[in-house]
Amino acid sequence: MEPTEKQVEVGEFTVNYATAGGGDPLLLLHGSEHTESWRVWEPMLSLADSYRVIAPDLVGYGRSSRPVETPDYRVQAHVLSDLVEKLSVERLSLVGSGWGGQVALELALAWPGLVSSVVLIASSYDKEQLKRLQKLRRPTLIVYAEDDMVTQLKAGYLLRDAIGTSRLEVLDPVAKDPRYDFRMSHRLGKFRAPQVVQLVRSFLSRPEEMVAEPPELENELKGMALRKQEEKGEEPAST
């Protein structure tokens, strides 16, 4: 489905965005690489057959306003809340990739009534946000790649354990495939899009059924904790 590209004035900024489809609103937020724009989502625009997809260029990217300093994730979240209000959207789901995930988290934390569910794809986060995420009582799907060296899998476990209503899905590694550099495993290239689209569709169709309270740490992370205790000469905690 071919998206329609539009621009709207939001406070002091002009926000460029693409929209396609109908149904429940789905806001797609790209990452922080300087070349990124809403077009990173083109491999996933098939979601527009079920949702009203809205994919903005964040301020400082694409065809949106380019101030001297790119606004931080807090300002971006505020701009997005004003944008969706202008678009007459009262409630939506969020999908954020990389830094876009950090912006999505801030939007969900600051405007909880606006957000019904969240998808984080190799999301970054701020330490200050991590402390607040226990308040995020929205179904959240967390997607990471096993061999991602940019946003490492450990971050996925930290997000999962911080967000009580979350589910972590780990994508298979791509480093062994000679077509791909392992540093690209966090990107929404065509080699990831079909798998991610399937996960997003499944999650958004029944988000409450796919999440649970955070489970105990994985065995390997438990092992790391035990080794640290041993190094310090501490007795391991009883279970």
Residues 125, 105 contacting (CB under 8 angstroms)? yes
Extended beta strands in the chain, E state: 4-10, 13-20, 24-29, 51-56, 92-97, 115-121, 140-145, 166-171
Of 45, 181, 197, 67, residue with least CA distance to 121: 197
Give the DSSP letter of residue 195: H
Residues 171, 192 contacting (CB under 8 angstroms)? yes
Of 122, 104, 129, residue with least CA distance to 114: 104
Q: All domains of the chain, ordered by start, with CATH?
A: 4-214 (3.40.50.1820)
Return the bridge partners of 19, or none.
Answer: 4, 54
Q: How confident is the model at residue 150 (pLDDT cuts 50, 70, 90)?
A: confident
Of 78, 66, 125, residue with least CA distance to 100: 125
Of 21, 39, 17, residue with least CA distance to 193: 39
Give the DSSP letter of residue 44: G
Per-residue pLDDT at 182 exceeds 70:
no
Of 50, 36, 16, 77, residue with least CA distance to 188: 36
List the single range of 34-43, 46-55, 69-78, 167-176 with lowest mean pLDDT. 167-176
Q: Could you give phi then psi for residue 165, rounded to 5 degrees?
A: -105, 65
Q: What is the pTM of this model?
A: 0.86
Give the pLDDT score at 30. 96
Give the pLDDT score at 180. 66
List the single range of 38-47, 121-130, 153-162, 171-180 with lowest mean pLDDT. 171-180
Span 219-231, pLDDT tens digits: 444 444 455 555 6
Read off the pLDDT of each residue in 180-199 and give the average, rounded to a whole number. 73
